[in-house]
Amino acid sequence: MSNTPVIGVLALQGDVREHLIALAAADAVARPVRRPEELAEVDGLVLPGGESTTISKLAVLFGLMEPLRTRVRAGMPVYGTCAGMIMLADKILDPRSGQETIGGIDMIVRRNAFGRQNESFEAAVDVKGVPGEPVEGVFIRAPWVESVGAGAEVLAEHEGHIVAVRQGNALATSFHPELTGDHRVHSLFVDMVRAHRTPE
């Protein structure tokens, strides 16, 4: 039996194409997900960067918010970058009114945290579970994690702020590995999906 996982990228808004390319490079079959029927067919899901308020609105509009919550709660592996990280937070410190999240990681995020003085930047980030050199972190109006609960593991920090977290099968980074051509973080996620699919 082939053990190539099928991984979706939530394709409502954001940098979908870059994630599809990165996942394919990390040996997964990657496809966009826009409808509940498509969500049902994937082994894991990436939530791209973009604008979390827009993604939240569109997820409700497309009838995806509840199916997403159900699958994440059931343990489907999921990886959120930037706006996708915000979608995985159980709580947003500064949500827009009506902004909802899928949740899944016991953490509080602050949107646009790296702020005005430094809207976008790159920095080397050491990510636990990613062997070798630090990852080149591309931060674009990125959130950081204010605090995590007992169940969540901090995988990386930048200048004292939490920028990568894992809780069970949910992974989140403030930065965008899909923009660098370095697929090691996507490989880590593909391994999580593979481990989830392989019967004990």
Which 77-116 positions form the footprint of ligand GLN (CB under 6 A)?
Answer: 82-83, 86, 111-112
Which tokens in the block code for residue 97? 């009114």
Query: What CA–CA distance (Å, rounded) separates 49 from 156?
Result: 18
What's the closest the beta carbon of residue 141 comes to ligand GLN, in angstroms? 4
> What is the CB-side half-sphere exposure of residue 6 using CA atoms within 13 A?
10
Which 118-147 positions form the footprint of ligand GLN (CB under 6 A)?
Answer: 140-141
Of 4 and 54, the one with the shorter C-beta distance to ligand GLN is 54
Per the annotation, the verdict on 176 as an active-site residue is yes
- The CB density around residue 1, as the number of other CB atoms within 10 Å, is 5
- Does 120 count as an annotated binding residue? no
- Does 197 count as an annotated binding residue? no
Residues in contact with ligand GLN, counted by CB under 6 A, come to a total of 11
Of 5 and 81, the one with the shorter C-beta distance to ligand GLN is 81
Distance in angstroms between the alpha carbons of the first and the last residue of the chain: 15
Of 6 and 21, the one with the shorter C-beta distance to ligand GLN is 21
Asked if 72 and 54 count as a contact pair (C-beta separation under 8 A), the reply is no
Catalytic residue among 19, 158, 176, 186: 176
- Does 115 count as an annotated binding residue? no
Of 188, 191, 163, 51, the C-alpha closest to 107 is: 163
Asked if 48 and 83 count as a contact pair (C-beta separation under 8 A), the reply is yes
User: Does 50 help bind ligand GLN (rule: CB under 6 A)?
Assistant: yes
User: Does 180 help bind ligand GLN (rule: CB under 6 A)?
Assistant: no
Of 31 and 141, the one with the shorter C-beta distance to ligand GLN is 141
User: Does 51 help bind ligand GLN (rule: CB under 6 A)?
Assistant: yes
- Does 141 count as an annotated binding residue? yes
Catalytic residue among 18, 19, 158, 178: 178
Of 137, 149, 148, the C-alpha closest to 177 is: 137
For residue 134, the 8-state DSSP code is P
- The SS3 call for residue 143 is coil
Q: Angle at CA 198, nearest 5°, toward 192 and 200?
A: 110
Which residues sit at the interface with ligand GLN, rule CB under 6 A? 49-52, 82-83, 86, 111-112, 140-141
Positions at the binding site: 50-52, 111, 140-141
- Mind telling me the catalytic residues? 82, 176, 178
Positions at the binding site for L-glutamine: 50-52, 111, 140-141
